[in-house]
Amino acid sequence: MDNDTQIITEGLAKIRTGGNVFYNPVQEFNRDLSISVITAFAKHYSEEKLQKKSKGVNVIISNTGSDSVAEACTKCDDGISILEALSATGLRSIRYAKEIPRVKEIIANDISHRAVEDIKRNIVDNAVTNIVHPSHSDATLLMYQHRKENQFDVIDLDPYGCPSIFLDSAVQAIKDGGLLLITATDMAVLAGNTPETCYSKYGSISLRIKSCHEMALRILLQCIESHANRYGRYIVPLISLSADFYIRVFVRVYTGAYKCKFTTSKLAYVYHCTGCDSFALQPLGVLKKNEKNNKQVKFCIPTGPAVSQKCEHCGHSHHIGGPIWTDPIHSPDFVQEVLKTASDKLNTFKRIQGVLSVISEELLDVPLYYTLERLSGVIHVEMPSMLVLRSAILNAGFKVSFTHMNRTSIKTDAPTKVVWDIMRCWEKKHPISKKRCIENTPAFNILAQPPEKDYSFEMHPDANPESRKLGFVRFQENPLPHWGPGFKATAMVGDQKILKSKKNQGKRKREASQESVD
């Protein structure tokens, strides 16, 4: 065995890899969750086929697709076809073959010749040659080759960085009703550090706001929808996840030109106050029901803007971001299905259980969120406990939830005015020092306005969510070993490929030296 060879055991797979093919153990949660999602999807997809057959739709179903013989690591002739477009070691594809039932075929593709050699060896070692087939190709080219015939039921895109270059081909190579699994790791771009780069890659302006992780998910979803709409297709998100150093979405893709007309009503620009972090949404389109026929919908352009030139709460100006996806980012029914089918033998099962439980409690029709520390920090007031603030919102007659993206998140349908009124009432009970209330600051302008009513902070019976009562692992601590996205794989097309970091060493000095010579 080569000295550079690594032996990796994860789930039911055991693989060998050499050279600089990329493997990140932190992503085990990603792979475990993907297995759970595809397992639930495959079951649901099989049931949909049977329903279509019973309605007379011409769908070929063999007996091998029944629940009684649905076993992992066994080829199912009427099962799902999966493409892992960026396979690297082949670990994910092998785990899919060995741990997901109702699978017909898996294509494990990579552009690196050395990576494909690893994939071939690992497929044989794990005895999944009947299901997993290696492919040495450019991912986008491979998907374009499948856009008309032999489309895939599932396509998994887990690139290093931005996935946008793969989306055009992916939305064409997926079957009607198929599942796309897409990861993005360029969080600095999506979270507002470089909004101009975000626009060039995703067609949306990102903002540096406290709910940047949810905004990142919604930017990615609108980007996928935009690519799908060009071909008369649209998406339905099943689960949208922010975890560790990446975001991951699971969406179904459907065909329907008429349904694409609803897209503008699912998108909005975001007005973000630079002083108090309040936000408002400006939809791109609105739907109005026909007065004569409620089944008919009229597509209209909304009036705007949604805010005044200065923030009504603190008097500061706004930044404009987006467009972002404003429709639900999860399917509650599907989340429950994944919770039921997820195997407790997975190493990260407790985390899957906890995260999905929080997701199942999230408010679906409320984009973005506040954070407890920011609401308190803006007006320099003593921070209330999470249960106290949640109780105040519930006592006011509004809904509130956590989001899995932030342990101090406040997601609520209460108007921003009500949220600040509640904080004003809290400040009355816990007055701040006059030295901290400087004229024309957000704190001064917000506290200068009296609350419209006195809000109650009495403990509400629904303030403590079920996932918290049950003690689920809801918010993951930073895994110190191997933390972060790691380095990009260097086992690429040719042996002449060198690390970008090494290539750029001393670049500025070389350029300066060249300029002095010239």
The fold of the 28-44+138-358 domain, in CATH, is Rossmann fold (3.40.50)
Q: 489-492: list long-range contacts, CB under 8 Å, 24+ apart.
A: 489/20, 489/21, 489/22, 489/88, 489/112, 489/115, 489/160, 490/19, 490/20, 491/19, 491/20, 491/21, 491/112, 491/114, 491/115, 492/111, 492/112
Segment 325-338, tens digit of pLDDT? 999 999 999 999 99
Q: What is the CA radius of gyration of the chain?
A: 25
Give 41-68 pLDDT, tens digit per residue.
999 998 988 888 777 655 544 444 444 3
Band (517; pLDDT cuts 50, 70, 90): very low
Residue 291: pLDDT above 50? yes
- For residue 515, pLDDT over 80 is answered with no
CA distance 371 to 387: 13
Q: How large is the average pLDDT for residues 241-269?
A: 96
Please state the separation of Cα 171 from the chain's center in Å.
Answer: 17
Long-range contacts of 282-285 (CB under 8 A, 24+ apart): 282/306, 283/326, 284/323
The residue whose two tokens read 């004229």 is 439
φ and ψ at 277, to 5 degrees? 70, 15
Ranges 227-231, 453-457, 485-489: which has the least confidence: 485-489
Residue 477 has a pLDDT of: 55
Name the pairing type of β-strands 246-255 and 233-243. Answer: antiparallel
Give domain limits for the chain.
Answer: 28-44+138-358, 370-469
The H or E element that residue 405 is part of is none
Report the 10 Å Cβ neighbour count for 395.
16
pTM attached to this predicted model: 0.89
- Average pLDDT value over all residues in the chain: 89
The residue type of 399 is: K
Q: Cβ distance 234 to 261 under 8 Å?
A: no
**Using CA atoms, how far apart are residues 26 and 34, in angstroms rounded to an integer?**
14
Q: In what order do the strands lie in the sheet with 233-243?
A: 132-136, 103-110, 80-84, 152-157, 174-184, 246-255, 233-243
